[in-house]
Amino acid sequence: MQLKGADILLRCLQEEGVDTVFGYPGGAVLPIYDALFESSIRHILARHEQGVAHAADGYARATGKVGVCIATSGPGATNLVTGIATANMDSIPLVCFTGQVGTPLIGRDAFQEADITGITLPITKHNYLVERTEDVARTVKEAFYIARTNRPGPVVVDLPKDVMERSIDYKAGDAEVNLRGYRVMKGYNSGQVIAAVDLIKNAKRPVIYAGGGVISSDAAGELRELAQKRKIPVTTTLMGMGAIPGNSYLNLGMLGMHGTRYANYAIGEADLLIAAGVRFDDRVTGKIETFAPHARVIHIDIDAAEIGKNVDVDVPIVGQVKEVLQAINQRLEAVEQYWEWHQTIDRWKEEFPLRYGSSCEGRIMPQSVIEKICDLTQGDAIITTEVGQNQMWAAQYYKFKHARTFLTSGGLGTMGYGFPAAIGAKIGRPDLPVIDIAGDGSIQMNIQELATAVQYRLPIIICILNNQFLGMVRQWQGLFYGGRYSYTDISHQPDFVKLAEAYGAVGIRVTREEELGAALQQALRETDRPVVLDILVEREADVYPMVPPGGSLSHMLGGDEI
């Protein structure tokens, strides 16, 4: 059968189970878009290529599938870079197809040419430049295989225009994956599992420290089983939210720079740390020399390079988090113990709860907005965030019940991530409400995607915590730079209600605490349009508690007084 490269590409996508792609057309990808015109694959047209990448990322996080996006050559491809780097830092499986100038023009500075494989080499798991139509099917199969296996991550496939236009004889199913040097991790070291079980049985003050690897390996059920069997308190990273229900007695909340005091104190006093799917990043550990000083450490991760990279480990276990936790659980009986440890933690929870100032004198405290959203949704929603104070308040005050319901840029901290990610999440999970908790700074990074949400009739809720500042930067300037608010006042901003209406969305402004509940309920009732809630919050509310950069987790600012 004679098929063009573009037709082969779409057939291969269908073989991989792809039902949705996010993209933006251009000259170099015209053959692909011509093939898409009659394809059964759903194409979501974003309004900027950065939005394309973040939407594919949000789709992947919410569904557990590989996200797919398409952009043209040159500036189209380079506009994907921030989204690719975001996915790479958070280990999200993406396959990004970029157009390229025809093969005879490569390297000649042709119109809209960019060396996207060279540009993305440091921020992808792997990338390809396909120079022959005969290699399209094999390359696509390999790209998906690499993106979803072992530690997930983004793969870029660069497709010259003539490769997509050329016709060859094609037979479905001929492509095979044969990657020298790339082996999918299978199994684990049973001896290390036994050693881990012995440590767990003998521990008096254990803590589970769960990260994004628990979510990506669909191991939340196994982690909860371990916690409940041994009554072990659990603290999570930003990426591990939802691994244990937010209202569970065993949940300590988030640890690290803006974690709860009791989570950080528990790390400081623990005699055993069970680290699952984490990388011990600096925002979690604080001063590394003082992190978990009394604890033996079990570290479970699919990526051997992460084990021992930042923290010395007593029992390293390389393997899929889900499989390793299953093996540990099979060797552990359920017990009632650690009551002294729980008493200590209960005392910390009582003495140092998350708290904030009252919503008085007409002001709305941003934390109360998150609590109201949580009350109305009862944890049965997908929450995306932008980056900054809005992100930290969401992590602190929303009680996540399920895995894959908190979508945020953890490693890279990408402003403008949340809204396009919400679009991808809603496409992938139309059964759940999707709410983007945003700041008035971050939302303007990709606010053009309102057109996308309106076009596809997506009832996404965008809650703008509008303090007219670049809030987190302003907070750091107040704490560490003598209150010199250098270029963080953004009070000159658009009317977000009118802007929403201009795009065809619903716009609602909330200026008083008593208006908040009704506005959120109205937004949740909307069925076919996005809603923008412009919520005017206390301008100088800060995120507390906070570990100063480079400080110890045991020394936190705020949280005990406001």
Nearest Cα neighbor of 99 from 114, 89, 84, 85 is 114
> What is the chain's alpha carbon radius of gyration, rounded to the nearest angstrom?
24
Cα distances from 70 to residues 80, 147, 152, 178, 395, in angstroms, run: 9, 16, 19, 25, 31
At which residue do the structure tokens 């008085």 appear? 360
Coil, strand or helix: which one is 474? helix
Distance between CA 322 and CA 300 in Å, rounded? 10
Q: How far is CA 7 from the centre of its chain?
A: 32
Q: Are 221 and 244 in contact (CB under 8 A)?
A: no
Token reading at 50: 């950065």
**116 Cβ contact partners less than 8 Å away, ≥ 6 residues apart:** 73, 77, 78, 98, 100, 127, 156, 158
Coil, strand or helix: which one is 102? coil
By the 10 Å C-beta count (0-12 exposed, 13-18 middle, 19+ buried), 266 is classed as: buried
Nearest Cα neighbor of 295 from 315, 281, 277, 309 is 315
DSSP class of 315: E
Active site residues: 49, 111-112, 161, 472
**133 Cβ contact partners less than 8 Å away, ≥ 6 residues apart:** 4, 5, 8, 163, 164, 166, 167, 168
Please name the residue ranges forming H helices in 415-545: 418-428, 450-455, 471-480, 496-503, 513-525
For residue 220, give the H/E element and its range: helix 220-230
| Residue 150 φ/ψ region, left for φ over 0, alpha for ψ in the -120 to 50 degree band, beta for the rest | left
Q: Are 413 and 82 in contact (CB under 8 A)?
A: no
Distance between CA 404 and CA 402 in Å, rounded? 7
Residues in the chain, overall count = 562
Residue type, 497: V
Cα distances from 220 to residues 277, 336, 407, 408, in angstroms, run: 11, 21, 16, 18
Q: Are 517 and 371 in contact (CB under 8 A)?
A: no
**Count of Cβ atoms closer than 10 Å to residue 224 Cβ:** 21
DSSP 155-213: EEEEEEHHHHH-EEE--TT------TT--------HHHHHHHHHHHHH-SSEEEEE-HH
